[in-house]
Structure 1
Amino acid sequence: MSAGTGTAAGAGLDVDALARWMDAEGLAGEGERPALDRLSGGSQNELYALDRGGVRTVLRMPPPSAAASRVDGLRRELRLVRALKGTDVPHAELAGGDETGDVLGMPFYVMAAVDGWCPADSRSWPAPFDVDVEARRGLAFELVDGIAKLSRVDWRARGLEGFGRPENFHERQVDRWLAFLGAYRFRELPGLDEAAEWLRRNRPVHWEPGIMHGDYQFANVMYSHGAPGRLAAIIDWEMTTIGDPLLDLGWALLGWVGEDPEPDALSYIDLGGMPKRAELLAHYERVSGRSTADIDYYLVLANWKLGVVLEKSYAAFVHGEPVDPKVEAFGPMVLQLIGTAADLARSLPGKGN
C-alpha cells in the first residue's frame, strides 16, 4: 500500500466523529484529531493511514457507493480479525471497529499498520532475496507457516460458529463452481469436465474444518524488511470462510505441480530457487498437525477453481466491460490452469480411475 494524494476532507470522512470514537476505544492520542492520508492498494475497500498520538494505524471501510454485499463483507472481515486477535497468526491486529455504520456512515475497522513488502507489489524479489537463493527459500517456508498457523486456530472457541458452512464442503465444490461459471461462460475450456469428474470421484474421506483464507498465495501476504525472511501479515481476507484449510495449502502451492516449482508459474514473481514441494509439505504438517496425504486432490481443485474464478474477469474483458486492461492476460492463464488440473488428474491414481 502506498500513500495517495487524497485528503480526508475530500473523501467526506467526519474526522471529529472518528476522533471521538478513537477516544471511546482507548486508542493512542486521546483528544487529538487524527491525521489521515488516503492509501492506494484497496480494490474492494478504501484504506486510510491514521496518525494520532505517535501511533500509525490503518482504517478500512467500503466506499460510499458500495453494494450491500460489499458492506456485509466488511462486517465479516471485522468479525474475523476480532477472532484472530491475540493468536499467533501473522496479521494486522485489530485496534477497533464499528459494525453499525453509525460513526462514519459505513462499517469500518482500524488495524495496526504493517511495515513490510508484498511480492505482488514489487514484482521482483527485493534485496537480499534477489541474489540470495537460500534466503529466498525461507520466504516459501514462511508462506506455508502462516497458513499452517491459521489452520490450527480453534474457530469455534473464537466465536466463528456460523461464519461458513463446512458441512459437505467438498461435495459442493464442483457443482457450485460450475454453476458460477455457467453465468458467464462464452468459450470452451479444454479439460474442465475431465478435471471436474475426477474431483467428484476423489474427494477426501477424512478432513477437519478450519479457517480457510480462500486466496492464499504470495500476492496476499506481507514480509518484514530484510533477511531472514519473516511473514509479517496475511492480508486480503475477503474470501475467508470455514472450510478445508488444506485447499489453502493447495492454492499456495499452485506453482508446484511437481516436486520442483516452475519458475514462471506465477505471473507476478519468479519461483526459481524455491524449496521442493515435499519440504514444504513436511513443514506444514509439523506446524499444523494435519496430514497432507491428499495434496494432489487439493492441487487439482486449486488449479481448476482458480481457472473458473479468473474466467469471470476475462469474460468481462472480452465483452467490453470496464475492467483493468491487465485482465487480458487471464485468457491464456485460465486455459493453462484448467489444463494443468486435467493433466494432473490424468496422471494420478484415483478412486474412479
Structure 2
Amino acid sequence: MSVLDEASEVREGETLDLERVDQYLKQVLPDLEGSVSVKQFPGGASNLTYLLQYHNRDLILRRPPFGNIAKSAHDMIRESNIMQSLRPVYPYVPSVMAQCTDHDVMGCDFYVMERFVGIIPRKEMPKEVALNEEDTRRLCLNVIDKLVELHQVDYKAAGLEGIGKGGGYVKRQIDGWSDRYTKAITEDATSFETVIAWLKEKMPEDVGTCIIHNDYRFDNVVLNPDNPFDIIGVLDWEMATLGDPLMDLGNTLAYWVQADDDPQFQFMRRQPTHLKGMLTREEVVDYYLGKSGLELATFDFYEIYGLFRLAAIIQQIYNRYYHGYTKDERFSGFVHAAKYLEQRCLKLIENSEL
C-alpha cells in the first residue's frame, strides 16, 4: 500500500466530459502535453475532487456536487479567489491554476489547482507511516498549530476583508444552521428542537474575528511523504470566512473521535484521532487556548454547536440522497448519523453547567 493519497475510479453519476475539460485546460494552460486521464479522490461528501493526469503534469479539479444545490452553496469561484489571496500569507494553500465560469465546459463553475503529493491522514494512517505514541502526539500538535497559525493571519493585510461579515458570527451561525437543518428535514429525520433552543439561549458574544477554515480536519491536511511531521498543505477552503475562532475549533472537534468514545461515535470516525498519543478533545481545547492566548470557562457551547452543525451538513447531504439527486450509497445511512449526533448533543446539554 502506498503512503501517498491515491485517487480511484470515478463514481457512478459523477463522470466528467473529459474532452471538453481537456480542450478548455489546454487553452488556459498551453504547456499541458498529451491526452488526459481522470480519477476521483474518495474523501469528501460535498464538493467533488478529481485527479487529472497529463503526460507532464498532475492537476486537481474541484467542482460542485451533481443535482440541485442551494444557490449560495458550493461557490467554486469564491473558494478559488480566497485561496489565491491567502496563499501569499499562508503557504499551505495550493496554487490555483485556472478557474472556469463557462458552463458550456461542464455545466457549472469549477477550478483547477496544483497537486500536493503527500500523505492525507484519513480514517487510518498508512501502515508504512509507523508512528509511536510520542510521534503521534508531535503530529497532533503540529496539526493544531497550523489552525492557530491560520487564525493569526492578518486578514486585512491579505486583502480578505470581503470574504465574510465578521462580527456577529456566532448568532449568524446558530440562526443559519438552524434554518438549514429545518429545510433539510426528511420524513425519517429528527427535529433537533431542544438542541436548537439551547444554542439560541446560550449563545455568547464573539471572542474575536479572524480567518476561519470552517472544515479543519486531519483529512484536510497533506503531510510531507519524506517527513510526516511536516504539513505541506491544507485543503478544502469551500467554507472559509471571517468569524469567531472558537466556533472554528468547535467544528474541528465535532470530527474528533477519541479512543474512549462509544461505539456509535467510533463508527463515524474518519480521521486517526483515536491513536495513542493523540490529544483528547479537552486537551485540544486547553492547548489551543494556551497557544492563542484566549481564556474560557467552558467549551460546552462550541462543542455542541460543532456537533449540531455537523448534523445539519449530514442531513443536507442525506436530503439529496433521499430525493434521488445523488446515487452515492455512502449517504444512505446519514439520517442515522444525524440522529446519533442529536443524542450526543442532548447528553452534553444535560451535563453542561451553562
TM-score if structure 2 supplies the norm length?
0.77
* Selected match of 2:78 from 76, 79, 83: 76
**2:18 alignment counterpart:** 11
Shift of 1:51: 4.6
Q: 2:220 corresponds to which letter in structure 1?
A: N
Q: 1:266, 1:193 → 2: CA distance? A: 23
34-43 vs 251-260, which moves further: 251-260
Q: 1:214, 1:51 → 2: CA distance? A: 32
Q: 1:207, 1:298 → 2: CA distance? A: 12
* Selected match of 1:325 from 307, 311, 329: 329
Give runs of aligned pairs for residues 208-287 of structure 1, distance below 5 A: 208-225=208-225, 228-254=228-254, 264=266, 266-270=268-272, 271-273=274-276, 274-287=278-291
Q: 2:143, 2:342 → 1: CA distance? A: 24
**1:146 alignment counterpart:** 146
* Corresponding pairs, count: 337
What percent of counterpart residues are identical? 24
Shift of 1:62: 5.9
Computed over aligned residues only, the root mean square deviation of the Cα atoms, in angstroms, reads: 3.8
SS at match of 2:195: helix
85-94 vs 260-269, which moves further: 260-269
Shift of 1:255: 5.4
Q: 2:68, 2:335 → 1: CA distance? A: 28
Give runs of aligned pairs for residues 185-200 of structure 1, distance below 5 A: 185=185, 186-187=187-188, 189=190, 192-200=192-200
Relative to structure 1, the CA distance from residue 19 to residue 34 in structure 2 (aligned partners, 3 Å threshold; closer, same or farther) is farther
Give runs of aligned pairs for residues 169-208 of structure 1, distance below 5 A: 169-185=169-185, 186-187=187-188, 189=190, 192-208=192-208
**2:340 alignment counterpart:** 336
**1:310 alignment counterpart:** 314
* Maintained 8 Å contact 2:138/2:229: yes
Q: 1:35, 1:316 → 2: CA distance? A: 34
Relative to structure 1, the CA distance from residue 288 to residue 13 in structure 2 (aligned partners, 3 Å threshold; closer, same or farther) is farther
* Maintained 8 Å contact 2:170/2:206: no
Relative to structure 1, the CA distance from residue 64 to residue 101 in structure 2 (aligned partners, 3 Å threshold; closer, same or farther) is farther
Q: 1:322, 1:268 → 2: CA distance? A: 21
Shift of 1:286: 4.9
Gaps of 5+ in 1: 24-28
* Maintained 8 Å contact 2:74/2:238: no
Q: 2:195 corresponds to which letter in structure 1?
A: A
**2:7 alignment counterpart:** 2
* Selected match of 1:49 from 52, 77, 80: 52
Q: 1:239, 1:343 → 2: CA distance? A: 28
Q: 1:199, 1:111 → 2: CA distance? A: 38
* Maintained 8 Å contact 2:188/2:335: no
Shift of 1:79: 0.9
Gaps of 5+ in 2: 1-5
* Maintained 8 Å contact 2:168/2:205: no
TM-score if structure 1 supplies the norm length?
0.77
SS at match of 1:119: coil
SS at match of 1:165: coil
Q: 1:280, 1:148 → 2: CA distance? A: 11
Q: 1:151, 1:198 → 2: CA distance? A: 27
Q: 1:92, 1:302 → 2: CA distance? A: 26
Shift of 1:174: 2.9
Q: 2:73, 2:307 → 1: CA distance? A: 29
* Maintained 8 Å contact 1:307/1:338: yes
Relative to structure 1, the CA distance from residue 21 to residue 34 in structure 2 (aligned partners, 3 Å threshold; closer, same or farther) is farther
Shift of 1:63: 8.8
Shift of 1:197: 2.5
Shift of 1:69: 4.2
Q: 1:80 corresponds to which letter in structure 2?
A: I
Q: Answer yes or no: is 1:22 the counterpart of 2:25.
A: no
